[in-house]
C-alpha cells in the first residue's frame, strides 16, 4: 500500500508565482513546437477497471531521447546569451537529463560536457555520447555528480544546466501539462513522478493556472522520498541512504525553485515501494506494450497501490523509457515474483537416482513451469545422503503459488531457508 503524505490545502487561483508563470510555459511550448514531440495519450482498460474511471497514459517514454527531459533542456539552453553559448554547457545526470542536454546542445550548436555517476546504465552513457556530449563519469549518486559538474562550471566558465532547479527547466517541463489539458480536457487527476521536482512543478504550475479543479498527485520511490519530510518541515530537507531501482527520481534533496511550487500547488505526494514499481513496469510492458523505466512507472505504481483514491479521469505521466536491458530483466523477474508469478524454493532430497524426477513429476501435476534447477551437495548443513535443490518456477499467481507449495508438502518435501 502506498504511503499518502498530504500537506496543507491551498487555493491555486490565489497563488502568486512571479518568478515563473503559465505564460512562460506557453512561450516554451511555442519554442518546442519543432523540437519536442506531442506525445500520445493512450488509454488503459486495465487501470480504468481498477480505478473505476478512465485512465490515460501520457507517453513521454516515446519522447525524443526517451524522456521528457529534452523539453526543459532545450528551453534552458536556447535562453543563453551568445557569450554563454560560446562557453559551452555542463550538466550532471543519471541519464535522462544527460541525453536531453546533449541533444538540445547539439541542435543549438553548443558544446556540452555531461557528468554521469560511475554506475550509470551503459545504454544511457552511450546514448549521451551519441547525441554529441563529452561524458565524464564521477560519483556514485547524482548529488555527488552534481557537485563535480558545478566545480567544472566554476573552473571553465561553462554554464551549468541544472536538471530541475531553474525556471526555464520548469517552464519547459510544464509543456507536458499543457498537452494533457489539450488532449484530455475532462481530466480530473494527473499523477506524475517526483525526483528533484522539475516535472511535477512545471505540470502543476501550468495545470493549476488553467484548471485549478484538477488534482496533481506527485509520486516518489519510498527509498528516495525527500519531499514528504521537506513538506513537513516547510523547506527542502536533504535525506541520506537513498535506495531505489528508480534512478531517474533518485534525488536526495528537492530543488529550491520546484519545491516552492510543489508546496503550494501539488495536492498530495505519495510514495511507492520497490515491489510496486516493478509490478507497474511489468504491467506497462504486458498490458500497454510500453517500455517504461522504473521512475516513469511510478505514477502507475501509485494507481496500482490504491486505485480507488484517484478521482477520474486520470492521466499518469510515463516520464521516461530509458532502461538498461539487464536491469529490465531483473526488474521483470522481481515484478513477476511480486505478482505471484515467479516462485523460488529450496528443498532437501535424498541423493539417489530418480529423486529429482519424482520432484519434477509433482510439479508437472500442479502445472508449474520449471525455469531453472540448481544442486548443492557440499554444504556442511547437509546429511551424508542429502542434496539441496533450488527451484525457480513460473506460476500463475498467488493462489497457484500456494497450490504448488501445498502439493510439495503433501508429497513429503520440506523447504529450507
3-state secondary structure of 1: coil
Distances (CA, A) of 191 to 206, 223, 306, 313, 382: 14, 19, 13, 11, 52
Q: What is the CA radius of gyration of the chain?
A: 24
User: Dihedral (C-alpha) 396, 400, 405, 407: value to the nearest 10 degrees?
Assistant: -120
Q: Which residue has the cell 546542445?
A: 105
CA separation for the pair 74, 89 (Å, rounded): 12
Looking at residue 4, its pLDDT comes to: 46
Looking at residue 15, its pLDDT comes to: 41
pTM given for the model: 0.81
Nearest Cα to Cα of residue 280 among 246, 322, 325, 326:
246
Distances (CA, A) of 94 to 35, 301, 313: 23, 21, 32
User: What are the pLDDT tens digits along the chain (417 aa)?
Assistant: 444 444 433 333 434 445 799 999 999 999 999 999 999 999 999 999 999 999 999 999 999 999 999 999 999 999 999 999 999 999 998 779 999 999 999 999 999 999 988 877 778 888 999 999 999 999 887 678 888 999 999 999 999 999 999 999 999 999 999 999 999 999 999 999 999 999 999 999 999 999 999 999 999 999 999 999 999 999 999 998 888 888 888 888 999 999 999 999 999 999 999 989 988 998 998 889 999 999 999 999 999 999 999 999 999 999 999 887 777 777 777 766 766 677 777 777 777 788 788 878 878 888 888 777 776 666 666 656 677 777 778 787 788 888 888 888 888 777 776
C-alpha atoms less than 13 angstroms from C-alpha of 319 in its C-beta half-sphere? 35
Query: 175 and 25 in contact (C-beta within 8 Å)?
Result: yes
Looking at residue 5, its pLDDT comes to: 41
Looking at residue 331, its pLDDT comes to: 75
Looking at residue 6, its pLDDT comes to: 40
Grid cell locating 47? 487501470
Looking at residue 273, its pLDDT comes to: 94
Distances (CA, A) of 116 to 90, 137, 139, 389: 11, 5, 8, 42
Class of residue 38 by CB neighbours under 10 A (exposed 0-12, middle 13-18, buried 19+): middle
Enumerate residues 6+ apart whose C-beta is below 8 A from 65: 96, 99, 100, 102, 103, 127, 131, 322
Amino acid at each position: 500500500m502506498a504511503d499518502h503524505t498530504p500537506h496543507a490545502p491551498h487555493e491555486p487561483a490565489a497563488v502568486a508565482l512571479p518568478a515563473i508563470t503559465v505564460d512562460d510555459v506557453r512561450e516554451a511550448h511555442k519554442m518546442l513546437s519543432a523540437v519536442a514531440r506531442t506525445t500520445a495519450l493512450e488509454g488503459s482498460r486495465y487501470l480504468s477497471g481498477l480505478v473505476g474511471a478512465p485512465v490515460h497514459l501520457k507517453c513521454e517514454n516515446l519522447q525524443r531521447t526517451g524522456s521528457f527531459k529534452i523539453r526543459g533542456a532545450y528551453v534552458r539552453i536556447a535562453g543563453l546569451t551568445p557569450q554563454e553559448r560560446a562557453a559551452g554547457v555542463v550538466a550532471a545526470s543519471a541519464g535522462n537529463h544527460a541525453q536531453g542536454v546533449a541533444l538540445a546542445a547539439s541542435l543549438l550548436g553548443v558544446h556540452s560536457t555531461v557528468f554521469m555517476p560511475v554506475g550509470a546504465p551503459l545504454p544511457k552513457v552511450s546514448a549521451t555520447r551519441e547525441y554529441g556530449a563529452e561524458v565524464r563519469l564521477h560519483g556514485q549518486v547524482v548529488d555527488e555528480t552534481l557537485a563535480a559538474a558545478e566545480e567544472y562550471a566554476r573552473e571553465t566558465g561553462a554554464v551549468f544546466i541544472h536538471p530541475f532547479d531553474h525556471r526555464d527547466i520548469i517552464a519547459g517541463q510544464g509543456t507536458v501539462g499543457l498537452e494533457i489539458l489539450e488532449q484530455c480536457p475532462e481530466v480530473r487527476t494527473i499523477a506524475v513522478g517526483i525526483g528533484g521536482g522539475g516535472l511535477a512543478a512545471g505540470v502543476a504550475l501550468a495545470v493549476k493556472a488553467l484548471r485549478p479543479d484538477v488534482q496533481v498527485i506527485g509520486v516518489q520511490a519510498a527509498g528516495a522520498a525527500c519531499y514528504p519530510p521537506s513538506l513537513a518541515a516547510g523547506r527542502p530537507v536533504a535525506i541520506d541512504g537513498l535506495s531505489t531501482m528508480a534512478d531517474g527520481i533518485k534525488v536526495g534533496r528537492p530543488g529550491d525553485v520546484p519545491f516552492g511550487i510543489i508546496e503550494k500547488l501539488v495536492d498530495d505526494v505519495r510514495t511507492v515501494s520497490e515491489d510496486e514499481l516493478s509490478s507497474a513496469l511489468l504491467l506497462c510492458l504486458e498490458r500497454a506494450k510500453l517500455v517504461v523505466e522504473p521512475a516513469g512507472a511510478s505514477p502507475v505504481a501509485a494507481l496500482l497501490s490504491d486505485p480507488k483514491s484517484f478521482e477520474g479521469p486520470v492521466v499518469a505521466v510515463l516520464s521516461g523509457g530509458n532502461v538498461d536491458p539487464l536491469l529490465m530483466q531483473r526488474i521483470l523477474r522481481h515484478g513477476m515474483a511480486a505478482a505471484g508469478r515467479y516462485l523460488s524454493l529450496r528443498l532437501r532430497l535424498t541423493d539417489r537416482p530418480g529423486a529429482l524426477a519424482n520432484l519434477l513429476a509433482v510439479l508437472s501435476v500442479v502445472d508449474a513451469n520449471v525455469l531453472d534447477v540448481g544442486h548443492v551437495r557440499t554444504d556442511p548443513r547437509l546429511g551424508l545422503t542429502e542434496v539441496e535443490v533450488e527451484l525457480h518456477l513460473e506460476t500463475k499467481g498467488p493462489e497457484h503459488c500456494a497450490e504448488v507449495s501445498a502439493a510439495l508438502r503433501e508429497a513429503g518435501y520440506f523447504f529450507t531457508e
